[in-house]
Amino acid sequence: MMMLPAHRKTVTLPDRAPTIMWFRDDLRLMDNPALCDAAARGPVICLYIHDPAFPLGGAEKWWLHGALTALDHDLGACGGRLWIMAGDSRENLSWLVGQTGAEGVVWNRRYGPHARQVDADIKAALKARGIDACSHPGNMLHEPWQVRTKQGTPFRVFTPWWRAVQAMGAPLPPLPAPVRTTFAPVPSAVADRLVAVPDLALLPVRPDWAGGLRGQWQPGEAAAHARLDSFVAEQVHGYATRRELPAQPATSGLSPYLRFGHVSARQIWHAVDATGQGDQDTACFLSEVGWRDFAQSTLFDFPDLGTTNLRSEFNGMPWRHDPAALRAWQAGKTGYPIIDAGMRELWHTGWMHNRVRMIVASFLTKHLLTDWRAGAAWFADTLVDADAASNPFNWQWVAGCGLDAAPYFRIFNPVSQGEKFDPAGEYVRKWVPEIARLPDKYIHAPWKAGSVAPAGYPPPIVDLAGGRARALAAWKSL
């Protein structure tokens, strides 16, 4: 018998069982703790499940289409792909584990009550089958339970909470994307169940209302970092004052990227920290990131945030039911330019400047005495950054029923707010072109222009003094 050559053949280990990386609100490759864990274990299956139990607004669906496309592309660049399934999360995961022989499932945490329930159910079901299920720090600076009062209770007020967060020092340093990841092949029985991004039918068809969104946004991790880098390099300077002016491009525009986890709060924190300038502008910007974390924490500790007044005395609030007024607010036809500009910016771009969000929310809940949940529902359907925590948190803040809320009597006057924060009327003229030719002195109160008042712009749908008095009377009745 002929002898084989003396060199040893490279030993091929039997294929290791794959680990499923379940992507949810963390659609990125960098600073992704669960993905790093999966890659370190062996072959990875990158999975996204489009689950109808987690309904999305129209603008979020539009974003998700781009986000999944970008993630699949980014995975393709490292030799992988995104496996997409549609339907119930528990059933799909359970089936996929059986088909692939996966030895583990990993994910980054989410903090909403339904999401936590689903994740806990899945973890229990997998463990019962002897399959490892491991959750990782999600998209916050710190996990909610890491920030507690001396008594061990949740903070209810932002400022002491934020002080405690700052005393904790730096959040976890961002992880790089895993290198030399191996990806598990798709078994043929699984291939039949996987769907492509277009199959999810996330984009609007007739009418196609997404033109303004396409013009404004590029979903995905690469675009998130381009925006973060340019913001930190060029725009943080002057942020504290310019951020209040909606006509200025002074805000970071990172909110939808955070919503979908194209960038993590930890990455933002460290990018700002790396500039070494601990000035008022960076402190102001980081505290805005802090408000996002505080909203997530509030949802974790008060799971009813999205549906129930955190101050229960508001349960007796005599909200008005006025569908015509709600429609006028939604359509940007209230007769108050700063309100209408904001609502049209929202409809057109899927986003609204923060200052204007507060003004339109105050107007709906106070002057129109409309339940904040109606406003939150509209925002959830139209914002690309709609978030299960931030959206209701901020509505409860404005309406006065949140824990650390604006006092109910803080009622924004849309005319004086417009004059203060859009003094030259630039923002209003951009979004409400039918009044663009009004002189500055009438730009926030067109009805005072008399004969110069343009036709085709509605008169105010509610009297400011009357609406304010009615809101204060309703509040006093509680």
62 catalytic residue (yes or no): no
* Binding segment (CB under 7 A) for DNA, from list 184-192, 318-326, 341-349, 415-423: 415-423
Q: What is the DSSP secondary-structure string of 58-71?
A: HHHHHHHHHHHHHH
Among 222, 406, 449, 474, binds DNA (CB under 7 A): 406
Say if CB 23 and CB 46 are below 8 A apart. yes
145 catalytic residue (yes or no): no
Asked if 95 touches DNA (CB under 7 A), the answer is no
Among 106, 413, 422, 435, binds DNA (CB under 7 A): 413
Asked if 390 touches DNA (CB under 7 A), the answer is no
State the DSSP H helix or E strand holding residue 82, giving kind and residue range, or none if neither.
strand 82-86
Asked if 416 touches DNA (CB under 7 A), the answer is yes
Residue position matching structure tokens 């067109």: 446
Q: Nearest approach, Cβ of 291 to DNA (angstroms)? A: 5
431 catalytic residue (yes or no): no
395 catalytic residue (yes or no): yes
The CA distance from 124 to 119, in Å, is 9
Amino acid letter, 229: D
Site string for DNA, 417-446 (x = CB under 7 A): x--x--------------------------
* Active-site residue, from 95, 103, 354, 419: 354
The annotation places the binding site at: 239, 251-255, 285, 385-387
Structural tokens at position 352 = 């609204």
Among 16, 410, 437, 441, binds DNA (CB under 7 A): 410
Range 205-213 contact pairs with CB under 8 angstroms and sequence separation of 24 or more: 209/58, 209/347, 210/62, 212/347, 212/348, 212/349, 212/350, 213/59, 213/62, 213/63, 213/349, 213/350, 213/384
Q: What is the DSSP secondary-structure string of 363-391?
A: IIIIIS---HHHHHHHHHHH-TT--TTHH
Q: CB count, 10 Å around CB of 448?
A: 12
Q: Nearest approach, Cβ of 387 to DNA (angstroms)? A: 15
Residues 6+ apart with CB under 8 A from 164: 147, 148, 149, 155
* Binding segment (CB under 7 A) for DNA, from list 18-26, 175-183, 342-350, 410-418: 410-418
Site for DNA, residues 149 to 208, rule: CB under 7 A:
158
* Binding segment (CB under 7 A) for DNA, from list 48-56, 229-237, 321-329, 406-414: 406-414
345 catalytic residue (yes or no): no
How many residues sit close enough to DNA to count as binding (CB under 7 A)?
Answer: 20
Q: φ, ψ for residue 175 (rounded to 5)?
A: -85, 145
Residue position matching structure tokens 């057109």: 348
* Binding segment (CB under 7 A) for DNA, from list 117-125, 180-188, 380-388, 461-469: 461-469
The CA distance from 275 to 80, in Å, is 34
Site for DNA, residues 236 to 295, rule: CB under 7 A:
288, 291
Among 310, 411, 432, 443, binds DNA (CB under 7 A): 411
The annotation places the binding site for FAD at: 239, 251-255, 285, 385-387
First to last CA, the chain: 98
In the complex, which residues of this chain contact DNA (CB under 7 A)?
Answer: 158, 288, 291, 354, 358, 406-407, 409-413, 416-417, 420, 464-465, 468, 472, 476
Point out the residues that are catalytic: 288, 291, 319, 354, 372, 395
